[in-house]
């Protein structure tokens, strides 16, 4: 399977950035509920992606 995880991780990052740009509640210090959800899903995918890449 080509890098589906990478695609999803990039998409999650874009989704978060798009939200943060449009959202007036999200700042560097605090995130709104939706921003938090988008951020956490991005972090989870990033972790999964980085972990899979790295041969332990
Ligand atoms: Zn927000």
Give the Å distance between the CA of 4 and the centre of ligand 1: 26
- Look at residue 55 in the predicted model and tell me its pLDDT: 67
Query: pLDDT tens for residues 4-56?
Result: 999 999 999 999 999 999 999 998 889 999 999 999 999 999 999 999 876 66
Give the Å distance between the CA of 21 and the centre of ligand 1: 8
What percent of the chain is helix, strand and coil (3-state, nearest 5)? 70, 0, 30
Q: Which of 42, 46, 47, 52 is nearest to 31 (CA)?
A: 42
């Amino acid at each position: 399977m080509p890098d589906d995880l990478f695609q999803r991780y990039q998409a999650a990052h874009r989704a978060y950035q798009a939200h943060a740009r449009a959202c007036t509640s999200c700042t560097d210090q605090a995130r709104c509920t939706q921003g938090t959800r988008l951020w956490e899903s991005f972090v989870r995918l990033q972790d999964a992606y980085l972990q899979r890449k790295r041969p332990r």
